[in-house]
Amino acid sequence: MAANKQRNVRNFSIIAHIDHGKSTLADRILEKTKALTEREMKEQFLDAMDLERERGITIKLNAVQLQYEANDGEDYLFHLIDTPGHVDFTYEVSRSLAACEGALLVVDAAQGIEAQTLANVYLALDNDLEIIPVINKIDLPSADVERVKQEIEDVIGIPADDAILASAKSGIGIDEILERIVSDIPAPAGDPEEPTKALIFDSLYDSYRGVIAYTCIKEGSIKIGDKIKMMQTGKEFEVSELGVFTPEPVKKEELTVGDVGFLTASIKNVGDSRVGDTITLAKNPAAEPLPGYKRLNPMVYCGLFPVDADNYNDLREALERLELNDSSLQYEAETSQALGFGFRCGFLGLLHMEIIQERIEREFNIDLITTAPSVIYEVEMNDGEVLNIENPSLMPETKNIKEVREPFVKATVMVPNDFVGPVMEICQKKRGAFVDMEYLDENRVNITYDIPLSEIVYDFFDQLKSQTKGYASFDYELSGYQPSNLVKMDILLNGETVDALSFIVHRDFAYHRGKHIAEKLKKIIPRQQFEVPVQASIGNKVVARTTIKAMRKNVLSKCYGGDISRKRKLLEKQKEGKKRMKMVGKVEIPQEAFMSVLEMSDDD
């Protein structure tokens, strides 16, 4: 019985670049398998977080169980596990892929393969997944199916002559996709009689039920009432709830091999149910846990501080919650003279950082001040000691330093021919060293540069997008540390160093950037009751200086014809704006000032 059931299970995910139509395709599949009635059908069902819908990207994983009656007359159970498309979320992708046996590779028929897709496909190949290429948007006038097929074969090296031609938007090719999932993707291999091994691939916290673990049963089974054991922590719990998503949660008595669903067991402490851990049964435990994920280390650090110091504990709690299903997020307490108590947090990349900030502000309702992101510098002292500095304000004095090394990345930019010039120019300006250039076909080029990560953390991606009209796609991986001529630049407001504004910069660019940031701060920081000098300095040497003039007048003289509500709103806005500012010494600084050291656009 169980074996029969397992034979008809298919676990798969969808790999695609942003905008290539993954969410629409997922919706069509849900529709075809009648998981959703028309009425329930909200556009793009899987992107459930508000933030995801707004940004049109997937951040968190979702797993949905679908029933499909194939042409062979048999009923199949599909588990569609959604994956994020952005390079910052590679970690999440590897998690969802570990729960699958196959993947649909969706490629835009007009745009072809993008660098980020490539990274995810390689991850899938590493995981031994069966890959079914789907060429989407074939009804676009600019579609070039033959070219894309050729590209899939040349770049990825998988046969593409049987790629499915589809248009998720118009519903073309969906039937073929469903049949191919049945015929090409293998059933999960586990044995229902073996000791239980279930992978936790995601989890969230519910204040009534405790931790809800998303799990995929690789061996054996779990029933309600079973005593389970977390293999990493050794903690034991009694299962109170089991279920699957269809996509609404549906409760089950038992989950067995091949099932993908959720589990609760009154787990109150978020740390007791780590994503990537293996669940087994306390009575008959498995000998070995499942191989964990490739744990990724943070590449970018920044300080997060509550605007209101009273929210420090709330912020800690928010970070604990988020860490629960995002173990790539790291944090530790930090104290800044300027900003008080907060946390230094590590992220996989800039987007990851932005998303976490926004989630804290929205889901936990905490106003944050974020300091400019920094990478980890290796500092070799004169006495031979090597320090890892991830917070610019902690950079030791120059005279004690023998050498500073900074992380470099191998950056791959895929771009149409016409933009090779601009891309190389940006890379040069960002202190990049040319590595390689490779023509994928007659008009697409893969350019590889070795670039300091810190330059990527600045506005590299924005510049790339604007200089290539959005055509460039970009991926990077850490390539190691190299010595650089770096200095720490301090910013002084009203004569006092604001530690949260310090940053590390290449000596050749120091003067220019110091001047630029002083001017920028002059624009961002509102006039105060007194004159505020702004200085940028290296050590004791001031390299740039400007002044924020004192405020002279702030009064609304206008009458507004009896519109008192409007006056009130203006005053409330002013008060609210003040609340979101941070008092540093005697100076009130708005949140965005702390990020200003980042933006280096040439036009201002």
Partner 1 sequence: MERSVYIHIPFCHEICHYCDFAKMYYNRELADQYLNYLRTEMKLYLGDKKINSRTVYIGGGTPTSLNEQQLEKLLSIIHEFINIKETEEFTIEANPGEFSEGHVKVMRDYGINRVSLGVQVLDDDFLKLLNRNHEVRDVDQAVSTLQQYGLNNISMDFIYALPNQSIEHFRKTLDMALDYNLPHYSAYALQIEPRTVFHLRHQQGKLNKPPEEDEAEMLMMLMEKMEKAGKHHYEISNYSENGFESQHNLTYWSNQEYYAFGAGAHGYLNGERYVNLRPVNHYNQSLANQKKPVLHRETISLKEKIEEEMFLGLRRIRGVKDDEFKAKYGYSFYDFYNKEIQQLTQKGWLEDRKRQIYLTKDGFLFGNDVFASFLLDEKTYNRVIHN
Instruction: Give the SS3 label for residue 466.
Output: helix
Residue 139 among known ligand-binding residues: yes
Residue 418 among known ligand-binding residues: no
586: contact with partner 1 by CB under 8 A = no
Per-residue CA distances from 29 to 40, 68, 260, 278 (Å)? 14, 10, 17, 30
Tokens linked to 391: 């917070």
Residue 138 among known ligand-binding residues: yes
Kindly tell me which of 482 and 547 has the beta carbon lying closer to partner 1.
Answer: 547
282: contact with partner 1 by CB under 8 A = no
365: contact with partner 1 by CB under 8 A = no
Kindly tell me which of 189 and 570 has the beta carbon lying closer to partner 1.
Answer: 570
Kindly tell me which of 398 and 574 has the beta carbon lying closer to partner 1.
Answer: 574
Residue 314 among known ligand-binding residues: no
Q: CB of 574: closest distance to partner 1 in angstroms?
A: 5
> What angle, rounded to 10 degrees, do the helices at 174-184 and 22-32 form?
80
Kindly tell me which of 4 and 565 has the beta carbon lying closer to partner 1.
Answer: 565
Residue 180, Cα to own-chain centre: how many angstroms? 31
Kindly tell me which of 540 and 557 has the beta carbon lying closer to partner 1.
Answer: 557
Number of Cβ within 10 Å of residue 102's Cβ equals 20
Only one residue has tokens 């023998």, namely 402
Question: Omega into 247 within 30° of 0, i.e. cis?
Answer: yes
CB of 241 closer than 8 Å to CB of 228: no
Residue 495 among known ligand-binding residues: no
- Count of chain residues binding partner 1 (CB under 8 A): 25
Residue 522 among known ligand-binding residues: no
Q: CB of 577: closest distance to partner 1 in angstroms?
A: 9
Q: Which of residues 555-574 bind partner 1 (CB under 8 A)?
A: 555-565, 567-568, 570-572, 574
Residue 137 among known ligand-binding residues: yes
Q: CB of 459: closest distance to partner 1 in angstroms?
A: 22
575: contact with partner 1 by CB under 8 A = yes
55: contact with partner 1 by CB under 8 A = no
Q: CB of 67: closest distance to partner 1 in angstroms?
A: 49
Rounded CA separation 527/548 (Å): 6
Per-residue CA distances from 569 to 527, 553, 566 (Å)? 21, 19, 5
Longest dimension (CA), the chain: 82
Tokens linked to 498: 């604001």
141: contact with partner 1 by CB under 8 A = no
402: contact with partner 1 by CB under 8 A = no
Residue 136 among known ligand-binding residues: yes
41: contact with partner 1 by CB under 8 A = no
Kindly tell me which of 266 and 574 has the beta carbon lying closer to partner 1.
Answer: 574
Q: CB of 309: closest distance to partner 1 in angstroms?
A: 16
Please provide the DSSP assignment of 555-579 as one string.
-----GGG-HHHHHHHHHHHHHHHH
Q: CB of 523: closest distance to partner 1 in angstroms?
A: 13
Q: Give the chain's radius of gyration (CA, Å).
A: 27
Q: CB of 567: closest distance to partner 1 in angstroms?
A: 7
Rounded CA separation 262/213 (Å): 5
Q: One-letter amino acid identity for 502? A: S
Rounded CA separation 280/160 (Å): 40
> What angle, rounded to 10 degrees, do the helices at 115-126 and 90-98 form?
40
Kindly tell me which of 402 and 558 has the beta carbon lying closer to partner 1.
Answer: 558
Q: CB of 77: closest distance to partner 1 in angstroms?
A: 53
Please provide the DSSP assignment of 17-34 as one string.
-TTSSHHHHHHHHHHHTT
Site for partner 1 (CB under 8 A): which residue of 429, 507, 512, 549?
549
Kindly tell me which of 187 and 532 has the beta carbon lying closer to partner 1.
Answer: 532
Residue 308 among known ligand-binding residues: no
Per-residue CA distances from 356 to 25, 330, 362, 457 (Å)? 27, 11, 10, 16
554: contact with partner 1 by CB under 8 A = yes
Kindly tell me which of 539 and 577 has the beta carbon lying closer to partner 1.
Answer: 577
Kindly tell me which of 309 and 571 has the beta carbon lying closer to partner 1.
Answer: 571
295: contact with partner 1 by CB under 8 A = no
234: contact with partner 1 by CB under 8 A = no
Kindly tell me which of 3 and 570 has the beta carbon lying closer to partner 1.
Answer: 570
604: contact with partner 1 by CB under 8 A = no
Please provide the DSSP assignment of 311-328 as one string.
GHHHHHHHHHHHHHT-TT
Rounded CA separation 40/29 (Å): 14
Of the candidates 356, 347, 354, the residue with the CA atom closest to the CA atom of residue 374 = 347
- Mask: binding to partner 1, 489-528, rule CB under 8 A, as x and -? --------------------------------------x-
Tokens linked to 207: 């204040």
Q: CB of 569: closest distance to partner 1 in angstroms?
A: 11
> What angle, rounded to 10 degrees, do the helices at 350-363 and 312-324 form?
120
Residue 459 among known ligand-binding residues: no
The one segment of 130-138, 216-224, 435-443, 545-553 that binds partner 1 by CB under 8 A? 545-553
Tokens linked to 49: 């977080």
DSSP code, position 367: -
Binding residues: 19-24, 136-139
Binding residues for GTP: 19-24, 136-139
List residues near partner 1 by CB under 8 A: 527, 549, 551-565, 567-568, 570-572, 574-575, 578
